[in-house]
A and B are shown apart, each in its own frame.
Chain A
């Protein structure tokens, strides 16, 4: 690639190599990424090392990922409903079964059937486990919720939009957890305008706190802390 490219100094080249190798700490990595964003020479040194060291990645044996991974990626990328959580499962399972009886009836009857099905299904099903904790994420100093976060007792969560959310093309929303008493939030990943699914365990073991949503550059904050305005928040 660029083996004979500019040679702006031993130190910069070794830093690029250590970045690719992965030995730098979080702060050093972040500094170098900022530098690379504006310095083509640094980018080409990184590319040189990436290409040369890439074959080493083949030393790790391929391993089939857990089956839950694809639905989770799908949910994050497209906002497709993630594997149904307890809150949502009864409606998805039961409605079509009851509707079969009404299939030949009018559209009005159809709508009515859906309503009845909802009642009939929900009433006799006693909750076997604690229901998910639901919290509304609202704009600061306002009351109308924009996202709804359902946190299950296994620490997974689904965050859904309640209204159309528009995000500038060059920006992403990012989710954060701010534990009560903590001085800084921890990142929970990007929040597509269509919603997100947080993996099992993401929110377990955390006492009371807040879920925050900030506006970040595309791909999310590079610093591990919100760099843009916090748009929405809600307590858990």
Chain B
């Protein structure tokens, strides 16, 4: 899906979700067509396991169908709402089933410099977040990205960054305190 059409789809998507709430199957299919690649990409990055990612997207879309009435346009963007549903489902599946079952090895998989920040969209919110992330020290920035984008838990962060659990937990907390202070200002 081209980024340009996704921008236009924001309002359209909210309308489609409203139609899903009214039981419109064609609208549901349109939501799938517009959003499945983006959501599957997020799930794949979080879980690193196609079967688990597909399960998460399946469950998230089922929730969209069954609970689409809960999307409130006044409270946020439909894309963020969908990504939220998907992320929580993927993380729940990850934490319940564990990565070990899928032969996941965080230490090898995760070897990333915090460069990808450049790829953040150029919305006002993304700009603010980028600026605030850049104010963090490197370890703090890295744990935020690895947790949010790659779905690593505290203990997985400790393993993949070869650091004690307590240290990693305090990086996370200091990062969050720093982000909140910066994002609130």
Which chain A residues have a beta carbon within 8 Å of chain B's beta carbons? 1, 3, 13-14, 17-18, 21-26, 29, 47, 50-66, 68-70, 72-73, 76-78, 172, 187, 189-190, 199, 201, 218-219, 224
Residue of A with least CB distance to B121: A58
Q: Restricting to B24-72, which residues have a CB under 8 Å from any CB of A?
A: 25, 28-29, 32, 36-38, 40-42, 44-46, 50-51, 53-55, 57-59, 61-63, 65-67
* Interface residues on chain B, number (Cβ under 8 Å): 67
CA A219 – CA B55 in complex, angstroms? 15
Can you sample 30 A-B contacts with CB below 8 Å? A1-B76, A17-B180, A21-B144, A24-B154, A25-B154, A26-B95, A51-B76, A51-B125, A54-B77, A55-B120, A55-B125, A56-B148, A60-B42, A60-B45, A61-B41, A62-B37, A62-B38, A62-B40, A63-B40, A66-B54, A72-B54, A73-B57, A73-B58, A73-B65, A77-B62, A77-B66, A189-B58, A190-B62, A219-B67, A224-B96
Contact indicator B172/A21 (Cβ below 8 Å): yes
Contact in complex: B66, A219 (CB < 8 Å): yes
CB distance from A201 to the nearest CB of B (A): 6
Q: Which residues of B contact A (CB under 8 A)?
A: 1, 25, 28-29, 32, 36-38, 40-42, 44-46, 50-51, 53-55, 57-59, 61-63, 65-67, 75-77, 80, 83-84, 87, 91-92, 95-96, 116, 119-121, 123, 125-126, 128-130, 144-145, 147-149, 151-154, 157, 172-173, 176-177, 179-180, 183-184
Q: Which residue of A lies closest to B77 (CB)?
A: A54
> Can you name 13 extra interface pairs (CB under 8 A) apart from A17-B176, A62-B40, A64-B37?
A1-B75, A25-B154, A29-B95, A54-B83, A55-B130, A59-B149, A61-B41, A65-B37, A65-B40, A65-B53, A69-B36, A70-B29, A199-B51
Distance between Cα atoms of A60 and B50 in the complex (Å)? 14
A52, B183: Cβ atoms under 8 Å? yes
* Cβ–Cβ contact A189 & B59, under 8 A: yes
| A26 and B83 within 8 A (CB) | no
Docked complex Cα distance between A81 and B154 (Å)? 41
Given A62-B41, A70-B32, do A52 and B148 touch, yes or no (CB 8 Å)? Answer: no
Q: By the criterion CB–CB under 8 Å, are A54 and B80 in contact?
A: yes
How many whole Å from B148's CB to the nearest CB in chain A? Answer: 5
Assess the B172–A3 pair: CB atoms within 8 A: no
Partner pick for B184 among A3, A26, A73, CB 8 A cutoff: A3
